[in-house]
């Protein structure tokens, strides 16, 4: 018996090692993780969806918020009407039996034709006082996509993007080639004067003044994007990209995004909006997503495709996946903004890390809801 007593201390030591190993295998806490836990109420609860039973959603850009106390009734109505008009355009397509691609194109075209939004008619100015527009469309049923970048004479870039998807073997056309392609395929051409608005010109002048003072919006990664007369948000930092996501009666998903870019951006700069997987993504069974924000960061973080991957491979739901990308992954890269993300079951998420985001949605029973003030958002900051 005495010869076997050595077994007891050995067993005790082995048990101690077995208990200690799980703790040692855990990664050490990072400062940003601790900060995330301490970042206010609700961090430990699952993100809530914005709405359910949604068939179409649009956004009019993220950035500086419209504030109730600073926004007059006319300005508020103008933004709500702009979002609602886009939703009605898409609703007509869906009610007439059209597919999700046609619905997002119609919704984005409506926003492109509205000078309040930084796309199409309301596009911002580049550093050389020109206009260069980007757009993309993606179809979830087969991952087909089309995009244009740096177009200067297309009235509705989103329609040019759809033509690239449907009539060429390519995904992205840029510059003069994209402009020429659009005209050859029947889209109306416009001169640069078409895009001119006083609000955008004033924003460019303010950006030039800031550049001379060493605080260039382009250098800081922020876009100076005037909202509208009647709001103190005029000329303040904002990202005015527009976008739409939809699911049709066949449960096919689609997404589209369009933008004039950043005020005072370098000529030739291309952001995330025309890039599949960054500004736009759609895949049946996971999500249709359109992004708005600091484009360079959304490109580096592959924002919209990451949402889809988290759903497909990570087991997240739409709200959790969108929240993780917007509030965790992209903020760690130094960028802010937002997304609208729609699942095939009609669950919509609209998280944004910026102060505000303009967006709205249409439910299957025809209800139209618009959100223009920060306190209206359910899945925002």
Residue 103, SS3 per DSSP = helix
**DSSP H helical ranges for the chain:** 7-25, 31-37, 73-95, 100-112, 157-167, 175-184, 198-212, 217-220, 295-300, 303-312, 318-323, 330-332
168 catalytic, yes or no?
Answer: no
The Cα 119–Cα 60 span in angstroms is 9
The length of the chain, given as a count of residues? 381
Q: The tokens 């048990």 sit on which residue?
A: 15
Ramachandran angles phi, psi of 59, nearest 5°: -135, 155
**Residues 264, 127 contacting (CB under 8 angstroms):** yes
Taking alpha carbons only, the member of 247, 273, 277, 249 closest to residue 342 is 247
The Cα 370–Cα 362 span in angstroms is 9
**Residues 337, 271 contacting (CB under 8 angstroms):** no
Choose, from 64, 71, 241, 336, the residue flagged as catalytic: 241
The Cα 170–Cα 145 span in angstroms is 9
DSSP-derived secondary structure for 302-362: THHHHHHHHHHTT---HHHHHHIIIIIIHHHTT--EEEEEE-TTS-EE--BSSSEEEEEEE
How many of the other CB atoms lie within 10 Å of CB of 52? Answer: 12
| Residues noted as catalytic | 241
């Amino acid at each position: 018996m005495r010869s076997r007593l050595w077994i007891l201390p050995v067993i005790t030591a082995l048990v101690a090692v077995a208990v200690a190993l799980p703790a040692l295998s855990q990664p050490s806490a990072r400062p940003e993780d601790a900060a995330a836990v301490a970042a206010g109420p609700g961090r430990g609860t699952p993100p809530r969806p914005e709405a359910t039973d949604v068939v179409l959603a649009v956004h009019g850009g993220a950035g500086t918020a419209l504030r109730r106390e600073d926004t007059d009734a006319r300005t508020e109505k103008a933004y709500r009407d702009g979002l609602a008009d886009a939703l009605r355009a898409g609703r007509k397509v869906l009610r007439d039996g059209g597919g999700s691609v046609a619905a997002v194109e119609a919704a984005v075209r409506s926003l492109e034709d509205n000078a309040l939004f930084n796309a199409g008619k309301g596009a911002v100015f580049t550093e050389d006082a020109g206009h260069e527009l980007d757009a993309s469309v993606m179809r979830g049923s087969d991952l087909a996509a089309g995009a244009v970048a740096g177009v200067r004479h297309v009235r509705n870039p989103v329609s040019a993007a759809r033509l690239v998807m449907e009539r060429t073997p390519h995904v992205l056309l840029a510059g003069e080639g994209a402009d020429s392609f659009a005209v050859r395929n029947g889209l109306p051409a416009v001169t640069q004067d078409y895009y001119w608005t006083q609000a955008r010109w004033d924003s460019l002048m303010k950006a030039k003044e800031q550049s001379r003072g060493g605080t260039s919006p382009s250098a800081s990664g922020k876009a100076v994007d005037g909202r509208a007369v009647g709001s103190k948000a005029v000329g303040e930092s904002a990202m005015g990209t527009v976008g739409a996501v939809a699911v049709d009666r066949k449960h096919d998903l689609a997404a589209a995004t369009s933008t004039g870019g950043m005020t005072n951006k370098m000529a030739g700069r291309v952001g995330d909006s025309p890039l599949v997987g960054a500004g736009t993504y759609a895949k049946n069974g996971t999500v249709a997503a359109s992004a708005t924000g600091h484009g360079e960061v959304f490109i580096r973080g592959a924002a919209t495709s990451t949402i889809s991957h988290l759903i497909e491979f990570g087991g997240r739901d739409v709200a959790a996946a969108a929240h993780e990308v917007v509030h965790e992954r992209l903020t760690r890269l130094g960028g802010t903004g937002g997304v609208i993300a729609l699942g095939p079951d009609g669950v919509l998420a609209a998280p944004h890390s910026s102060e505000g985001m303009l967006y709205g949605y249409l439910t299957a029973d025809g209800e139209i809801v618009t959100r223009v003030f920060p306190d209206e958002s359910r899945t925002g900051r």
